[in-house]
Structure 1
Amino acid sequence: MDLKAELLKSIWYAFTALDVEKSGKVSKSQLKVLSHNLYTALNIPHDPVALEEHFRDNDDGPVSSQGYMPYLNKYILDKVKEGSFQKEQFDELCWMLSAKKNYRPEGITGLVSRRQAFQIWCLFILLSEDKYPLVMVPEEVAYLLKKFTTAMGLEWQQEILDEMYSQNSSYTSGISVWNLLEIIESGRFSAVTTKESFNLAIVDVFQEMYHDVLKKGYLWKKGQVRRNWNERWFVLKPTNIFYYVDEDMKEQKGEIHLDSNTVVEAMPDKEGRRCLFCIKTLNRTFELSASDVRLRQEWMQGIQTAVRLLVEGKTSLHKDLKMKRREQRQQNEKKKLEKEGELSQLKQLQEEKEWQLQQTEEIKKSQMELEERRKELEQQGLKQQEDLQKALEKQLRETEEARASMAAEIEEKKKEAEMQQQKIQELEIMKHKMEMALNYEIEARMEEEKARVAQARLLTEEEIMLKQLMSLKEEQEEMIQKTQQEKEKLQHEMAEKAKELEKAYSELQDLRQTRKQSNQNLVQAEKNLRRASRTVKHWNVQLNRLMQPISPGGRQNKLIISHRGDIALICNDSANNEQQQVSKSSQSESPSEDSSGDPEEGIKDQLEDMAISKDRISPTQPNGVGS
């Protein structure tokens, strides 16, 4: 059992003690106080807000043990380190909370003090089963009570405990700690002499089982420096041997660390000391002396047991013994179940064997009855056979007589049979003919049936075609009606289009007349333009002639004025060329103006150009001529 499981058992008693109403729930304020005390007892840093954070989403009501367990594991038990706290003080805290509610020593003999009651409570937690609510099985109760009895030097009497179980059958399934305290307080399990001896026995057993004290007592130890012998109180535990000045254990003088390499050996007597033995460790060898050989043997066995536990990786002898006893109980229970199964099988086989014997007796009895019945039937059969033989002989005689009469009748019957045979042949011929006629009739009916089926099919198809024709006729009528409407609409539209066409035709005639008039005007304008062009050319020639200066010499400069009003002086040789170019340009410009589609505007432009040319020439001509 690990440390966490041991602590949880003690905390379970503390939690249930706070559940005053026995509802399985405890208020948060009480859990805060309990958690604070657990922090202190287990030497864990306090975390005052952990409980509030853990139950932050819950209401302010009480908390069940299932709700408290996650907080207990996370914030307390998971932080516990073995050896960092005093487990006895922790258990005493849980005992104080639990005993305040459940332990009532009033009215009892007072055999056990409150301190020893706490120690019994601790031993109960150590030996109880790992199931809640915690109980001790009868075997563990007997083991503990036997330890108390042996520690007092008394003889253990199992019969007293068995009698107690017989008086209270509920104890056989397990005993609670409060029932155990009541049994021990009553002193019924053994003849307790005095209260002091019983309390000392409880203390010894508590030291042995709870504090893992394998052995304790006075031994003589040889010093390392002075090499003198001193009597010390030794306490053997699985990992160490502590030695004190006396049994009060107030002043510790030293300790011996044990490990897997520790060796204990007996030594011969020397220096006036007897029953010597030594403990050899890696660092030192300790020489010890016991009072007698038996005590020396007990100490050597105890030390060897401690070393064996260390080699096996175990820290407590009684925890190991408890697990072995539990395994032994499980094996015994398993064997008991197997034995019960074997007994049930044997019982079943015995029942089957008895049943088979009973069946055998019944079969034998039935066989004897059958044998008697068979004999009776044989006698009845013989008698019936004799009667039957007589009857058969009588019947044989009657049969012979009947055979003779039957022979005559047979002859008559043969003749009748021949006649019947002939009639049968005739009937067969008639039957054959009737079958042929019947087959012919059947074929005719089948053909008739086929014709009826074909006629029905044709009628169905005709009906379908008729429905299709009717639907087509309806569609045709709808189409005709629709076509008639469209025709009337088209006629109306055609009438409107005809009116528009007539109107457009009249407009076209007007346009043609207008175009014809325009063509005539254009022809007249072209004639006027050609006439004006000739006039312009004439006037240009006259103007050029008038503008020629009079100068001596063969080559004369001429002043040329175009119809655009430009003035240029050119040589006499190039005057004619220039005049030809001007006449060509005028001819080339006239068609372009005609092609522009507005000949009258072209004529107006030419006339304006001519006027401008004249205006430009008129003021400058005298000066030019004079020069």
Structure 2
Amino acid sequence: MSTNVQSVTKVVLQPSEAGIVAEQLVHCLGLRWDAADWEALGSSIGHFKWAAFLAVLEAKYCCDQQTHPEALVEAVDEIYDVFIEDIIKKGYLFKRGYLLPTMREYWCVLQPCALTYYKSSSQKDQCGRIAIDEYCSVEASVGEGKIQRFQLITPDRTFEFGTQDHKSRLQWISALRQAAAVSGGAEGYQRRARAGRRGAGARREREVRETKARLQHEVRARLAAEAQAQELAELAQQDNRKLEELKTTQVELERLLQEETQAKRDEEIVRALQARVLAEEWERREELERLQEEQNRMLEEERMKRKQFEILQAEKEAQYKEAEKRLRELEEEKRRLDAELHAAQEKISRTELTAHALHVQLRQDMNPILRNGERARRAISFVPTTKSSSDTLIDIRAIKHLKVLDDDEKL
């Protein structure tokens, strides 16, 4: 920082300090931080004035079409919390109650001197505040269920917290230990970290200057050695050129010899290949002729089988027609016999009906005659044995008439 004549304070940022703020902003926006690009930009600009620094942030990271205004506001709030409010970490934690042994979720904000927890992330309703000093310690604990537990041990009391996963638990344990380590200083956490970064930057600049001096000395020594080595190299190059020419001639002769030898080998190989190809061609031709003969034989057999099949098919068709004709005749015969059978059945039915009617009528008509015949039999049984011929004839006629009546009754 510097002050001019009009007592106007101007903020000037070192590239390393500006890079820390820019890196925090990029991470809050969910973008990828390119450290090499920022170092190149810082080396070209030098010191960042506040207006120039804001212009660089807006042009390089905040004017992207994918950056949402709400995300930018949250990122600025996050930077304010880190660098102004001196917040080390914040987020949701499960805390075990003092009276009821249940784990409730709170929004926790960790600063170098205290851990404050609220009902929600709006940080309006404060539920409690735990003082943190150099006498506090943090230890991981084993618990049941999915909650990953750890303990914050203070001189007055032991608090039990929990997270959803193991990674979050490790982050909170590291942040709480860091807060306990820096809680005793008069300066804030970010000021102390910035002072450390400045000291590290001064050490790096001093080391860079010393390294540059050593490099310049080594460059001058290397230039002198290179001049001497160049003279020796020129002499060696002349000898090498002559040696290369001899080697080139030798290589050319060897190449020509190898080409001639290879040409002879190739010629022998070509001849052997031609002989083999010719033999294979003859074998293939013989195989084709054999296959053609076999194909012709199979075609002839197929034609014979086809003729036999056609003959059999004609015979089957003739048999089929004959069978159809015979079937029609049998059907006609069956219909004729069925008609005759039906007529006979009807005739028998009529005959049975007529016989039954006659039988009923005959019984009705013969009942008086039968009664009279019975009386006649009884009268005959009392007649004397000495009869005349006329009486005997009457008796015979009466007996015949009675037999006829008995036969009709049986029918």
Q: Scaled by the length of structure 1, what TM-score is found?
A: 0.34
Offset from partner CA, 1:5-33 (integer Å, 9 cap, x none): xxxx6xx78xx7xxxxxxx24xxxxxxxx
Q: CA deviation at 1:319?
A: 2.0
Matches within 5 A, 1:95-494: 133-158=10-35, 160-161=37-38, 164=41, 169=44, 171-172=45-46, 174-188=47-61, 191=64, 193-270=67-144, 272=145, 274-310=147-183, 313=185, 315-353=187-225
Q: 1:217 to 1:152 in 2, by over 3 A?
A: same
Structure 1 runs of 4+ aligned residues shifted over 4 Å read 162-166, 188-192, 351-361
Work out the CA distance in 1 between the residues paired with 2:197 and 2:183: 20
Q: CA deviation at 1:157?
A: 2.3
Work out the CA distance in 1 between the residues paired with 2:163 and 2:101: 17
Where structure 1 has 5 or more consecutive residues not aligned to the other structure, the ranges are 1-8, 17-23, 26-64, 66-97, 99-131, 362-627
Work out the CA distance in 1 between the residues paired with 2:67 and 2:134: 43
The number of residue pairs the alignment matches comes to: 232
Offset from partner CA, 1:265-319 (integer Å, 9 cap, x none): 111114x5620111111111111111211111111110000111135x3643322
Between the aligned residues of both structures, percent identity stands at 25
Work out the CA distance in 1 between the residues paired with 2:94 and 2:232: 83
Q: Would you say the 8 A contact 2:95–2:103 is kept in 1? A: yes
Q: 1:146 to 1:304 in 2, by over 3 A?
A: same
Q: Would you say the 8 A contact 1:157–1:189 is kept in 2? A: no
Q: CA deviation at 1:351?
A: 4.3
Q: CA deviation at 1:164?
A: 4.8
Q: 1:211 to 1:165 in 2, by over 3 A?
A: closer
Q: Would you say the 8 A contact 2:15–2:39 is kept in 1? A: no
Q: Would you say the 8 A contact 1:208–1:214 is kept in 2? A: yes
Name the SS of the counterpart of 2:51 in structure 1.
helix
Q: CA deviation at 1:163?
A: 6.3
Q: CA deviation at 1:176?
A: 0.4
Name the SS of the counterpart of 1:250 in structure 2.
coil
Where structure 2 has 5 or more consecutive residues not aligned to the other structure, the ranges are 234-411
Work out the CA distance in 1 between the residues paired with 2:120 and 2:149: 20
Q: 1:356 to 1:206 in 2, by over 3 A?
A: same
Q: Would you say the 8 A contact 1:273–1:289 is kept in 2? A: no
Letter paired with 2:130: I
Offset from partner CA, 1:388-416 (integer Å, 9 cap, x none): xxxxxxxxxxxxxxxxxxxxxxxxxxxxx
Letter paired with 2:205: E
Q: Would you say the 8 A contact 2:107–2:118 is kept in 1? A: yes
Q: 1:227 to 1:352 in 2, by over 3 A?
A: same
Q: CA deviation at 1:206?
A: 1.7
Q: CA deviation at 1:213?
A: 0.8
Offset from partner CA, 1:207-230 (integer Å, 9 cap, x none): 022211111111111111233332
Name the SS of the counterpart of 2:183 in structure 1.
helix
Work out the CA distance in 2 between the residues paired with 1:345 and 1:189: 45
Q: CA deviation at 1:187?
A: 3.7
Q: Would you say the 8 A contact 2:112–2:180 is kept in 1? A: yes
Matched residue, 2:267 = none
Q: 1:164 to 1:332 in 2, by over 3 A?
A: closer
Work out the CA distance in 1 between the residues paired with 2:203 and 2:117: 41
Q: 1:315 to 1:228 in 2, by over 3 A?
A: farther
Q: Would you say the 8 A contact 2:109–2:115 is kept in 1? A: yes
Q: 1:349 to 1:284 in 2, by over 3 A?
A: same
Letter paired with 1:278: Q
Q: Would you say the 8 A contact 2:86–2:112 is kept in 1? A: yes
Q: Scaled by the length of structure 2, what TM-score is found?
A: 0.51
Higher relative contact order (CA 8 A, sep 6+): 2
Q: 1:307 to 1:314 in 2, by over 3 A?
A: farther
Name the SS of the counterpart of 1:224 in structure 2.
coil
Q: CA deviation at 1:261?
A: 1.5
Q: CA deviation at 1:320?
A: 2.3
Letter paired with 2:123: M
Name the SS of the counterpart of 1:226 in structure 2.
coil
Work out the CA distance in 2 between the residues paired with 1:189 and 1:158: 17
Work out the CA distance in 2 between the residues paired with 1:197 and 1:210: 19
Q: Would you say the 8 A contact 1:222–1:230 is kept in 2? A: yes
Q: 1:360 to 1:186 in 2, by over 3 A?
A: closer
Larger Rg over CA atoms: 1
Q: 1:190 to 1:286 in 2, by over 3 A?
A: farther
Letter paired with 1:248: S
Letter paired with 1:134: V
Q: Would you say the 8 A contact 2:62–2:72 is kept in 1? A: no
Q: CA deviation at 1:134?
A: 3.3
Name the SS of the counterpart of 2:133 in structure 1.
coil
